[in-house]
Amino acid sequence: MAGLYIHVPFCSGKCGYCAFYSVVGCENRIDMFLDALAKEAVVRTHELFSPLSTIYIGGGTPSLLSPTQFEQLDRIIKQNFKISPDKIVEYTIEVNPDNVDIPRIQAWRNAGVTRISMGVQSMIPQELQTIGRRHTALEASKAYQMLRASFSNISLDIIFGLPGQTMESWKETVHQIIDMYPEHISAYSLTFEERTRFSKMLKKGEITEVEESLSLDMFRWVCHRLAEAGYEHYEISNFARSGKRTLHNSSYWNGSEYLGLGPGASSYDGYRTRKSNPPSLKEYIFFYTDGGENSDYVESEYLSRKELTEEYILTRLRTSEGIDLEQYGDLFGKEEAARITKVCRRIGDKWINCRDGVLRLTEDGFFISDEIIVSLLPD
Ligand code: SF4
């Protein structure tokens, strides 16, 4: 199973917390981006060994593309990539509530999009303003209703730990999201990434972080509430109704091959090679418009055995599947499997448990997954 990711690096404004690569106020360059993308697809199609099963159009804000521009993007995919005989099992586009309208919905449907991932982030007006979203809670609800009439698989993103957020306001957001009854919910913990507006504001003392204990309570509460509402917690930040786990992202977590096109996108060959496109729209357009070869442009990294082990631990422990110790031993040796088991015992059952030969983070362990994963990595 192979996946295709396309990074559409345009946004109408920059949200305070966001570290994804995107450019603001450059919509007049979308057509140039699409021309460069068409060239990149031709040059790199051979890098995928298997036919496509999943497509993910992310960003940035792909819903900024007009219906005609989206049709062009879809044509680029279909003209350059072999589709799996079982057809595309999942075709996702990320959207923002402020660009959802009937002509776009029609274009997405006509192209065969099966899944919508919409960034809502909060249903509290003050919080939406603080984080710099360009839509209201009401617009998010209206966009959802419009999408619901055409799509049976919708995912909504929300964030906890926002500056000024309280337990009550978080509960209000979660309740309103559950009432919409999407198939999938991603609940992210706010992190202050370097070079974001929030990290600068934090340094200047213009905003404050919520207490870690409050953030943990918010996480525990959302896990509990979503379980009650019938959502399975299958990855640190992801919850799905039965049969609605995201297939595309699951391929990142289980080490399958995927190809990423567009500035800032990364790829993995499912074996040992990682590639990434530099995060610069200007360079991207310049390079592909000049008809260059991708070998000079894409950064490529061959993973060492140690890096492969790290990658395995990092990705598998994110999910509720965890690490199967027998499989781990077959891949990296029995001694390594014994080492990791010993470290887990030392960390303790409150954070990570070993049942039936599988290591899994607990709910509290998910909350501090970065720290636990670091302590498990080989020296
Ligand atoms: S969160 Fe989404 S809309 Fe906001 S800046 Fe990042 S990519 Fe753009």
Domains parsed from the chain with CATH numbers: 2-252 (3.20.20.70), 305-376 (1.10.10)
By most ligand atoms within 8 Å of CB, the mutation choice from 12, 23, 57, 61 for ligand 1 is: 61
pLDDT for 291 equals 62
The residue written with tokens 């055409």 in the block is 150
Token pair in block for residue 245? 């786990």
pLDDT for 298 equals 87
pLDDT for 85 equals 73
Average pLDDT (199-218) is 95
CB neighbours of residue 129 within 10 Å: 12
Residue 216 has pLDDT above 70, yes or no: yes
Q: Locate the ligand 1 atom nearest the alpha carbon of residue 133 and give its number.
A: 4
Q: Name the strands in the sheet holding 90-95, side by side, starting at the edge strand that comes first in the sequence.
A: 232-235, 238-240, 184-189, 154-160, 115-121, 90-95, 52-59, 2-8, 258-261, 266-268, 273-276, 299-302
CB 140 within 8 A of CB 123: yes
Average pLDDT (104-132) is 97
Our answer on whether the CB atom of 60 is closer than 6 Å to any ligand 1 atom is yes
The 10s digit of each residue's pLDDT in 40-71 is 999 999 999 888 999 999 999 999 999 999 99
Instruction: Identify the residue whose C-alpha is closest to ligand 1 atom 2.
Output: 60
Helix, strand, coil shares of the chain, percent, nearest 5, are 45, 20, 35
Our answer on whether the CB atom of 182 is closer than 6 Å to any ligand 1 atom is no
Measure 322 CA to ligand 1 centroid, in angstroms.
30
Burial class (CB in 10 A: 0-12, 13-18, 19+), 309: buried
pLDDT bracket for residue 297 (50, 70, 90): confident
pLDDT for 210 equals 94
Measure 19 CA to ligand 1 centroid, in angstroms.
8
Q: How far apart are CA 289 and CA 306, in angstroms?
A: 38
pLDDT for 252 equals 84
Residue 250 has pLDDT above 90, yes or no: no
pLDDT for 295 equals 54
* Maximal C-alpha separation, the chain: 58
Average pLDDT (202-224) is 96
Q: How far apart are CA 367 and CA 217, in angstroms?
A: 10
Residues in contact with 265: Cβ distance below 8 Å, sequence separation at least 6, in sequence order: 5, 6, 7, 276, 277
Instruction: Identify the residue whose C-alpha is closest to ligand 1 atom 7.
Output: 60
pTM equals: 0.95
pLDDT for 83 equals 86
CB 235 within 8 A of CB 319: yes
pLDDT for 293 equals 55
